């Protein structure tokens, strides 16, 4: 068995984060009786997009973290990437608004997510070249 404590830590943190994001649309659905779709409710659509956007980026990032840890990346790099991604995803979830795209936190979250993913990609490439 290969221990992967750092990836496991961030997997647990992101699982809790996702549980919160998944609870919110469920809560709105339960109180409104909307089973499928958003029922024309901007608050439900927003909650769905917050969860959906998380699921579009975080699992892929965690796979990259897993590969980095398996290939011997330093704890400093792994924790740096993991903590930065937590901050970026919080900023994105808080900054995502139904009525405007011009939210600084949304920009920080989206841009941060892409930058962190790019850094992880470069690190993976360097591991491959140095193997």
Domains of the chain with bracketed CATH: 5-129 (1.20.120.550)
CB neighbour class for 9 (10 Å; exposed up to 12, middle 13-18, buried from 19): middle
When pLDDT is cut at 50, 70 and 90, the band that residue 130 belongs to is confident
122: pLDDT strictly greater than 90:
yes
Going by pLDDT thresholds of 50, 70 and 90, the confidence category of residue 98 is confident
- DSSP letter assigned to residue 131: -
Q: For residue 86, is pLDDT > 90?
A: yes
From residue 68, how far is each of 1, 54, 62, 78, 106 by CA, in Å? 17, 21, 10, 8, 27
Tens of pLDDT, residue by residue over 18-75, are 999 999 999 999 999 999 999 999 999 999 999 999 999 999 999 999 999 999 999 9
pTM: 0.93
Residue-level pLDDT at 1: 84
C-beta of residue 85 within 8 angstroms of C-beta of residue 61: yes
Contacts 24+ apart (CB under 8 A), 69-73: 69/4, 69/6, 69/7, 70/2, 70/4, 71/124, 71/127, 71/131, 72/127, 73/123, 73/127
- When pLDDT is averaged across residues 77-100 and rounded to a whole number, the result is 96
Task: Evaluate if residue 131 carries a pLDDT over 80.
Answer: no
């Amino acid at each position: 068995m290969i221990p992967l404590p750092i990836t496991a830590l961030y997997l647990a943190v992101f699982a809790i984060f996702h549980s919160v994001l998944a609870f919110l649309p469920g809560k709105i659905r339960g109180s409104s009786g909307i089973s499928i779709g958003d029922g024309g409710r901007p608050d439900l659509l927003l909650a769905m997009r917050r969860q959906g956007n998380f699921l579009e980026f975080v699992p892929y990032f965690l796979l990259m973290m897993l590969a980095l840890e398996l290939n011997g990346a330093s704890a400093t790099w792994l924790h740096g990437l993991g903590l930065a991604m937590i901050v970026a995803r919080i900023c994105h979830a808080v900054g995502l608004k139904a009525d405007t795209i011009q939210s600084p936190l949304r920009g920080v979250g989206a841009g941060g997510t892409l930058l962190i993913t790019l850094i992880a990609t470069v690190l993976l490439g360097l591991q491959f070249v140095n193997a």
